[in-house]
């Protein structure tokens, strides 16, 4: 695929518009489609404003030239000349399958069809198409123009040539492409679950409050945001739903069990920053809780959460979800972790991580705290998990 290839994007929301911007700035003509004509007009205005701001800052040479590459459409037949169409709509499997079947009836036999799903089965989406071999997952991170990572997820049916073409295209767009097996959550949304889930467990047990847990994970562990600040930023309508989807998709594995505390926020409409209230209160003048800056408590909190994260990454490596290199790249470039989790494990030593997990298992007798076979082997052999 070269710059002469026309790129289609389904969905004119923030993610779809962001992907379209990336493609246009890489030199492609882009068709941005949404069945909602008002959403199309809004995206057109927002993209124009964004490109003008980038031009004012000297980050692009000519906003008008890039804007001219866009075609804004409310008719799906506009995709007829596309070489690649990327879907970025609601996380609903039935709706995605219906859309893919419709798009396949419009595009050429050589057009690649990609889904930006963050947690649904790419294989299931591909099954809605007559030519399932041309379907692939391309999971961008929000905001797409700023976030470097793209997870490339071949379905069971995906032709190897399609995977190779898409990996190269993402590199041409200036993205860091990591290859992931089509399993729930792929890399990032699978491996990152304990960052939220274990923090919530610690909070629900009354071991520490939200401010203290956030302080421990930022000031002591080096994360850019604590788990409660981050879930409020993402939005509980998004973060909780991904957790629930991954939990169900893994046949209710207790490692991914959702939290009632977060579910109640969702039910109350306290979605985080977007609604003005989540774990924190974002109303003007609201008094924020203060952390208990107890170094011993903070270390126990951070090490418990990090050990759970490491175990998840090690298990993903053990199950060939991705390579060691791609697993660490995904977490540092996709969610800005201070270091790769496999690297972190080797710096700690697998023995330390295993001890934390085994102590938790002995206390709780929950399968949630079972250690990966690979972690146990590395601890026994005093070796790197990446060997």
Residue 236 is among the residues annotated as catalytic for this protein: no
Cis peptide upstream of residue 143 (ω within 30 degrees of 0): yes
Question: How far are the Cα atoms of 92, 113, 249, 381 from residue 95, in angstroms, in the given order?
Answer: 5, 15, 18, 49
Question: How far are the Cα atoms of 149, 151, 158, 317, 332 from residue 192, in angstroms, in the given order?
Answer: 15, 14, 26, 14, 11
* Nearest-angstrom CA–CA distance, 354 and 382: 11
Task: Determine which one of 118, 121, 311, 372 is catalytic.
Answer: 118
- Longest alpha-carbon distance in the chain: 63
Task: Determine which one of 151, 239, 259, 372 is catalytic.
Answer: 151
Q: State the sign of the Cα–Cα–Cα–Cα dihedral 77, 80, 81, 85.
A: positive
Task: Determine which one of 121, 189, 302, 372 is catalytic.
Answer: 189
Question: How far are the Cα atoms of 28, 46, 66, 125, 141 from residue 51, in angstroms, in the given order?
Answer: 15, 9, 8, 33, 19
Residue 359 is among the residues annotated as catalytic for this protein: no
Contacts of 67 (CB under 8 A, 6+ apart): 24, 47, 48, 51
Residue 363 is among the residues annotated as catalytic for this protein: no
* Nearest-angstrom CA–CA distance, 32 and 144: 15
Task: Evaluate whether 283 touches 276 at the Cβ level (below 8 Å).
Answer: yes
Task: Determine which one of 139, 198, 236, 302 is catalytic.
Answer: 139
Helices of type H across the chain:
14-25, 37-56, 63-67, 93-104, 122-126, 160-172, 188-191, 193-204, 210-215, 227-234, 236-249, 260-268, 295-318, 324-329, 341-348, 350-364, 373-381
Residue 244 is among the residues annotated as catalytic for this protein: no
* Nearest-angstrom CA–CA distance, 191 and 317: 11
List residues with catalytic annotation.
Answer: 118, 139, 151, 189
């Amino acid at each position: 695929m070269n710059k002469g290839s026309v790129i289609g994007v389904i969905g004119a929301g923030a993610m779809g518009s962001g992907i379209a911007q990336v493609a246009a700035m890489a030199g492609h003509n882009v068709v941005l489609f949404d069945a909602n004509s008002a959403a199309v007009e809004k995206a057109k205005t927002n993209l124009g404003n964004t490109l003008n701001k980038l031009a004012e800052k000297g980050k692009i040479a000519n906003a008008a030239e890039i804007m001219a590459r866009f075609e804004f459409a409310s008719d799906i037949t506009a995709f007829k000349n596309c070489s690649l169409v990327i879907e970025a709509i609601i996380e609903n499997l039935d709706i995605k399958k219906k859309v893919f079947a419709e798009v396949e009836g419009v595009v050429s036999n050589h057009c690649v069809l990609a889904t930006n799903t963050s947690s649904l089965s790419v294989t299931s989406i591909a099954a809605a198409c007559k030519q399932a071999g041309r379907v692939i997952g391309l999971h961008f991170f929000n905001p797409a123009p700023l976030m470097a990572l793209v997870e490339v997820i071949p379905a069971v049916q995906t032709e190897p040539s399609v995977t190779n073409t898409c990996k190269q295209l993402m590199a041409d767009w200036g993205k860091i492409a990591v290859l992931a097996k089509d399993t729930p959550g792929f890399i990032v949304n699978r491996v990152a679950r304990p960052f939220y889930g274990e923090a919530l467990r610690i909070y629900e047990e009354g071991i520490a409050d939200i401010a203290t847990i956030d302080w421990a994970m930022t000031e002591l562990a080096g994360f850019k945001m604590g788990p409660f600040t981050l879930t409020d930023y993402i939005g509980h309508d998004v973060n909780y739903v991904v957790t629930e989807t991954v939990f169900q998709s893994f046949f209710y594995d207790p490692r991914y069990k959702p939290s009632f505390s977060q579910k109640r926020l969702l039910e109350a409409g306290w979605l985080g920053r977007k609604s003005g209230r989540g774990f924190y209160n974002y109303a003007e003048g609201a008094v924020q809780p203060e952390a208990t800056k107890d170094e011993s408590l903070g270390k126990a909190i951070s090490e418990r959460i990090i050990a759970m994260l490491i175990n998840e990454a090690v298990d993903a490596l053990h199950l060939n979800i991705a390579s060691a290199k791609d697993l660490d790249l995904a977490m540092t470039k996709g969610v800005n972790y201070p270091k790769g989790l496999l690297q972190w494990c080797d710096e700690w030593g697998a023995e330390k991580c295993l001890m934390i997990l085994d102590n938790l298992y002995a206390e709780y007798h929950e399968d949630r705290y079972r250690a990966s076979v690979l972690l146990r082997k590395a601890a026994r052999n005093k070796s790197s998990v990446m060997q």
